[in-house]
């Protein structure tokens, strides 16, 4: 019985993402049951080689995701450029990108990924009468060779009063040190 309960978690963790390969192979890889939601290139680790953020979505997420009881994970993979022109998988987290139906009336809240000088931000937008954004930013720490949560926050406003915007941004002063791999967008802070 315990093995049966562990199967869904194991099958997601065991997806065959390429650990290293050419830019074309990595950005165009096909993973059974998944499709690329977004591929963005930029400087993730402050070196001379182009890096990539790849976000995958389950092909059935429109039918299977439930924002309240079972949000479908969206794997986010960080690939760093190598001197030989290939990409190497540096990190993965399945709980950075909000689920397909987490955006309320707007549906899928994922907007884009922005990469700049060792920082990357996953941007979301959603709501109904109350609109909101959520910007989750990670920063590369060269000494550790890893990315850490830098900021998590956004704006909200009511469509009846769009000039009255409330901004809430949490930083390391609020949440401490959080490694990219340990971040959970669904956790209560």
Does residue 164 lie in a domain region? yes
Asked whether residue 111 is assigned to any structural domain, the reply reads yes
pLDDT of residue 156: 97
Question: How do residues 54-104 score in pLDDT, each as one tens digit?
Answer: 999 999 999 999 998 999 999 999 999 999 999 999 999 999 999 999 999
Cβ-contact 35, 57 below 8 angstroms: yes
| Residue 150 in domain | yes
pLDDT of 13 > 50? The answer is: no
> Distance between the two ends of the chain, CA-based, in angstroms?
33
Quick one: pLDDT at residue 15?
61
Which residues form the domain of 113?
Answer: 21-182
Query: Is 188 within a domain?
Result: no
Number of structural domains, the chain? 1
- pLDDT, one tens digit per residue, over 151-173 is 999 999 999 999 999 999 999 99
84 falls within a domain: yes
**Domain annotation covers residue 6:** no
Does residue 143 belong to any structural domain of this protein? Answer: yes
Query: What is the C-alpha separation between 148 and 176, in angstroms, rounded?
Result: 10
pLDDT band at 187 (very low <50, low <70, confident <90, very high): very high
189 within domain boundaries: no
């Amino acid at each position: 019985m315990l093995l049966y309960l562990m199967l869904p978690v194991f099958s997601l963790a065991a997806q065959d993402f390429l650990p290293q390969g050419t830019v074309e192979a990595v950005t165009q890889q096909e993973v059974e049951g998944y499709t690329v939601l977004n591929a963005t290139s930029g400087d993730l680790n402050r070196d001379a080689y182009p890096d990539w953020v790849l976000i995958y979505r389950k092909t059935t997420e429109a039918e299977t995701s439930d924002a309240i009881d079972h949000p479908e994970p969206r794997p986010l993979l960080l690939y760093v450029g190598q001197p030989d022109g290939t990409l190497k998988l540096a990190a993965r987290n399945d709980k950075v990108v909000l689920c397909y139906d987490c955006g309320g009336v707007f549906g899928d809240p994922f907007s884009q990924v922005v990469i700049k000088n060792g920082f990357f931000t996953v941007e979301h937008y959603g709501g109904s009468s109350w609109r909101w954004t959520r910007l989750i930013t990670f920063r590369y720490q060269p000494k550790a060779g890893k990315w850490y949560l830098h900021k998590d926050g956004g704006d909200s406003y009511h469509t009846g009063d769009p000039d009255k915007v409330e901004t809430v941004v949490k930083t390391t002063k609020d949440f401490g040190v959080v490694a990219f791999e340990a971040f959970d967008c669904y956790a209560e802070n």
